[in-house]
Amino acid sequence: MTKKHAEYLVIIFFLMVIGIVFQQIATSMTEQGIASGTPYDNAAAYPRAVAILAGALLFVAGLNTWRERKIPTPLSISQMRRPAGLIAIFSIYLLGLGTLGYHLSTTPMLMSLLWVAGYTRLVWALIYSVCLSFGAAFLFEVFLNIVLPGGFLRLNIAW
Amino acid sequence: MLLDSLSSGFDLFFTPLTIGLTFSGLLFGLFVGALPGLGPLMGIILMLPVAIGQQPIAAMGFLIAIFVGGSCGGSISAILLRIPGTPLAAATLFDGYPMAQKGRAADAIGIAITASSLGGLFGGIVLIFLAPLLARFASGFAPPEYTMLAITGLTAIVVISGGSLIKGLLAGCFGLLLATIGTDEFSTGYRFTFGTHHMLNGFHIVAVVVGLFAISEMAFQIMRKDLTTKPNIPMVRANFGAIVLTLKHWVNLLRSSAIGAFFGSLPGAGGVISSFTAYAAAKAASHPDEGYGEGAEGGVVATESANNATVGGTLVPSLALGIPGDASSAVLIGALLILGIFPGPTLFEQQPEIAGGVFLVYLASNVFLLFAGILTTPIFVYVLRLRKSHLIPAVLLLCAIGTFALQASIFDLWVMLTFGLIGILFRAANYPLAPVVIGTILGPLLENNYRRSLLISREGHWIFLDRPVSATLITINVLLIAGAIWFAIRQRKKTAATKEP
């Protein structure tokens, strides 16, 4: 992957954002009657103006990217394995957080992240993950009165 | 007005909670500053969910102290490892590291902490005197002036902070669009909510900021090869003799602090520019025998006093106008808004005790820095031995629990992760992230005042040119953008000329 690829991806992302702005103005905002009228009633004029400005800037950015020579970026496929692993582990964690709860899902998530980061001493990784997970839960639940997700077992520690 | 706000702020400041949180924030700031890859912005972001559950002045004391400690902490790794903990400390290694090589690491760290503290106090004096004056000047502003002020704030940050103008403006536009998500204040209609109740108030700013900065930073950190290595650093113990060493360079200290406070008050300039400028000025004014670049005490004094004075300067436009000077102050403004405090001229008129409280926590942070920083040096030297592989999961866990704690919502965690991916993409394509946050913070100010201007105008958009302050701000914006375009064309021509055989 080169910097140019990343720039094209950002351009596609901005095209999607601008597309959503116009799609929502044409549908949802028109249906609500907030896409026209005085500055008081017209809630669409400002996002439309910003989207048009973004579109003009995007055109220039696209031209610049197209004219730019291919510049290698520090991101190679092999280097991207670790960040991809981090995002994957975190996504799985979020998927399971509601069902499994904080205490059942956090320690495996932390251990997996340690493994992805290259730390392979299993016992120490387990001890570190358990201490970190319960230590953070203690701080947030006791000092900030936060109730962390209990999951299907309703696992909440009464500290 | 000045004494009134300070004296009314005393009651809010002198509580065990505020003093305790300010002290804790300072230690946490030194911790995140010392660790390469984190820094004050990351520290503020990580602790934002904790802070917004507290009373306003205690919360601001905590966050401002992280800003102060984080701006200084980077010097420890710059001096000992030759790796600046934060970009703010990049200029400190010019003389700090050679001092350590000569066996004067303790002196270098002591001087860095003392200069940071005294520079920060200088920035505090500038803040206390300048912010109310600026607020008084701005108290006569009407919606057209606020509209142009918001645009100027965003443009200045994009132009002055360097990088691509187009990319910076695009990122700013993205932030402005993000701010429109939710219920419209005027028509009470729903915009970009896609029929879900989660988005009726838009995305939570903390989830957006944590994702953009913290998650993307960790994704880039995890690519490093030295994650499991443990640096071998000798123990260093700074002492109060460093105060005398620093005060020997009092002219340099005052000059550098003034440079820092000046650059801080300009939106977009920030601590990196001020520390390099202060270093250049100190070097130019020095005697050749001082040996700048070879371990001169004056080099450390200049860079560290400048980058901490910048913090005070940055808070001037943030508090007086509600216009952030950089990403860190944008997050601080976001915290104030969440706490129900609206920075700007009305803050000084209607809630002088809050303004006074903020001034006091800022001053207290710098006083704590001097004593706690010097006494706890061995702890932060020990912190540098931490393995990155252990730090990344801890940061991610803090991000997750902190973001969940905002509204006890897993939706916020998905927002955080999504913005983490956007942050990774933006970083990979060299798009700056700060304008996104600043656009999100300034978005409501801009849109509300833009629409109010049009409502009171009889000639449509001409109202912006009819009013002198607004017209001046338009001129400044045009000059800033024209200057940036001219500079970019000149740079491109220079690059093309050097490539030709």
Backbone angles phi, psi at A39, to 5 degrees: -55, -25
Whether pLDDT at B108 is above 70: yes
Residue B464 and residue B148 in contact, taking contact as beta carbons nearer than 8 Å: yes
Instruction: Identify the pLDDT of residue A72.
Output: 57
Query: ipTM greater than 0.85, yes or no?
Result: yes
Across the A:B interface, residue pairs with CB atoms under 8 Å apart total: 176
Task: Choose among B67, B60, B62, B21: nearest CA to B40.
Answer: B67
Q: Is A156 on the interface with B (CB under 8 A)?
A: no
Instruction: Identify the pLDDT of residue A73.
Output: 55
Q: Is B16 on the interface with A (CB under 8 A)?
A: no
Instruction: Identify the pLDDT of residue B386.
Output: 84
Whether pLDDT at B501 is above 70: no
DSSP B263-315: HHHSTTTHHHHHHHHHHHHHHHHS-GGG-TTSS-HHHHHHHHHHHHHHHHHHH
Q: What is the pLDDT of residues A112-158, one digit of tens each?
A: 999 999 998 999 999 999 999 999 999 888 888 888 998 888 888 87
Whether pLDDT at A1 is above 70: no
Q: Give residues 442 to 501 of B whose Cβ lies within 8 Å of A.
A: 447, 450-452, 454-455
Q: What is the pLDDT of residues B361-386, one digit of tens each?
A: 999 999 999 999 999 988 888 888 88
pLDDT-above-90 percentage for chain B: 53
Interface test with A, best of B147, B222, B436 (most A CBs within 10 A): B222
Interface test with B, best of A146, A147, A148 (most B CBs within 10 A): A146
Q: Is B223 on the interface with A (CB under 8 A)?
A: yes
Q: Is B189 on the interface with A (CB under 8 A)?
A: yes
Instruction: Identify the pLDDT of residue B173.
Output: 95
Q: Is A155 on the interface with B (CB under 8 A)?
A: no
Extract the runs of DSSP E, i.e. beta strands, from B84-142.
Answer: none
Instruction: Please name the residue that has the structure tokens 């957006």.
Output: B208
Query: Are the beta carbons of A41 and B187 separated by less than 8 Å?
Result: yes
Q: Which uninterrupted H or E stretch holds B191? A: strand B190-191
Q: Is B150 on the interface with A (CB under 8 A)?
A: no
Query: Mean pLDDT score of chain A, rounded to an integer?
Result: 90
Whether pLDDT at B239 is above 80: yes
Whether pLDDT at B114 is above 90: yes
pTM: 0.89
Rounded average pLDDT over A32-61: 94
Rounded average pLDDT over A32-39: 91
Whether pLDDT at A4 is above 70: yes
Instruction: Identify the pLDDT of residue A66.
Output: 86
**A148 neighbourhood in chain B, CB within 8 Å:** 401, 404
pLDDT-above-90 percentage for chain A: 66
Q: What is the pLDDT of residues A86-104, one digit of tens each?
A: 999 999 999 999 999 999 9
Torsion angle defined by CA atoms of residues B54, A104, B46 and B30, in that order, rounded to the nearest 10 degrees = 100
Q: What is the pLDDT of residues B304-361, one digit of tens each?
A: 999 999 999 999 999 998 888 788 888 999 999 999 999 988 888 888 899 999 999 9
Interface test with A, best of B173, B185, B230, B447 (most A CBs within 10 A): B173
Q: How confident is residue B162, by pLDDT bands cut at 50, 70 and 90?
A: low
DSSP B72-100: HHHHHHHHHHSS-SSGGGGGGHHHHHHHH
Task: Choose among B477, B158, B174, B202: nearest CA to A50.
Answer: B174
Give me the residue from B174, B218, B426 closest to A17, CB to CB.
B174
Q: Is A9 on the interface with B (CB under 8 A)?
A: yes
Q: How confident is residue B28, by pLDDT bands cut at 50, 70 and 90?
A: very high
Instruction: Identify the pLDDT of residue B155.
Output: 86
Q: Which range among A4-8, A106-110, B494-498 shows the weakest confidence by mean pLDDT? A: B494-498
